[in-house]
Amino acid sequence: MLFDSHCHLHFRQFDNDREEIIKKLRDFNIGVINIGTDLEESEKAVELAKKHPDFMWASVGLHPNDNLKENFDIDKYRKLAKNESVVAIGECGFDRIRSLETDYAVRQKEIFIKQIKLAKELNKPLVLHCRPSVSTQDAYEDAINIIKNFLPTGDPPKGEKFNGVAHFFSGSKETAKKFLDLGFYISFAGPITFAPEYKEIVEFVPLNRILVETDAPFAAPAPYRGKRNEPAYVEFVARKIAEWKGLDFEEVAQHTAENTKKLFQIK
């Protein structure tokens, strides 16, 4: 089994052929987690997951800058997150590429903290979206510094934990280590198939802490670069990881699927 740990199959880009793609995923035995980016898109992700409960799940959250008009209503997200198909909170975090203004930075921090609190309350992992400004690690550092304040001290109550995944990771090896030390997973997406600078990071992160994703419909891997991405293309991400780690593809597919199930508490 393969597992696309982060996609947006509920987005409008799939309105014309969504059912065809879903059939392909079922035939190829590929599980998916559809990630919400605001309340409306989170609701769509949940509804789609409810229709295919055997291989599809959802995350609900407010992206740092996809919908600047929405104020995070924790009560509405809490109600939505209690649906049995919801396995995570997010994607949430910091985006320093498109929102550099001070007021947006303050807003991102406030919304991020609210979603961390919701994730801890519901005992669900966090899906992190971090895009640092050019030649920096600022978005990752901001997220890490805040997350540290919410880590449990001492022995947490039985069954309680707080972790998550750094989605579409593009940070440094040093930043990856900081996330690993926090108990987070690292997720790699399509760009590793055509950007050799990822090789050092992929080799560094242990296989038992790696997830694979597409972020479909965005960032298609080679050989589909520049075209619409889709969840089935997660295979190319897994194959590149296998190549760089000197492992069999089947081993990488199995371990990354198991990692996804473990993180998101999928039975």
pLDDT in tens, 159-213: 567 999 999 999 999 999 999 999 999 999 999 999 999 999 999 999 999 999 9
The answer, yes or no, to whether residue 133 has pLDDT greater than 70, is yes
DSSP assignment string, the chain: -EEEEEE-TTSGGGTTTHHHHHHHHHHHTEEEEEEPSSHHHHHHHHHHHHH-TTTEEEEE---SSS-TT----HHHHHHHHTSTTEEEEEEEEEETTT--SHHHHHHHHHHHHHHHHHHHHHT--EEEEEEPPTT--HHHHHHHHHHHTTS--SSPPTT----EEETT----HHHHHHHHHTT-EEEE-GGGGT-GGGHHHHHHS-GGGEEE---TTSSPPTTSTTS---GGGHHHHHHHHHHHHT--HHHHHHHHHHHHHHHTT--
What's the confidence (pLDDT) of residue 97? Answer: 83
- Nearest CA to 85 out of 114, 43, 126 is that of 43
The answer, yes or no, to whether residue 265 has pLDDT greater than 60, is yes
What's the confidence (pLDDT) of residue 50? Answer: 98
What's the confidence (pLDDT) of residue 200? Answer: 97
CA distance 162 to 160: 7
Q: In order of start, what are the domains of the chain with their CATH numbers? A: 2-152+159-263 (3.20.20.140)
What are the tens digits of pLDDT across the range 70-129?
999 999 999 999 999 999 999 999 999 865 566 678 899 999 999 999 999 999 999 999
pLDDT band (50, 70, 90) for residue 151 = confident
- Nearest CA to 201 out of 211, 220, 188 is that of 188
Q: pLDDT averaged over the chain?
A: 95
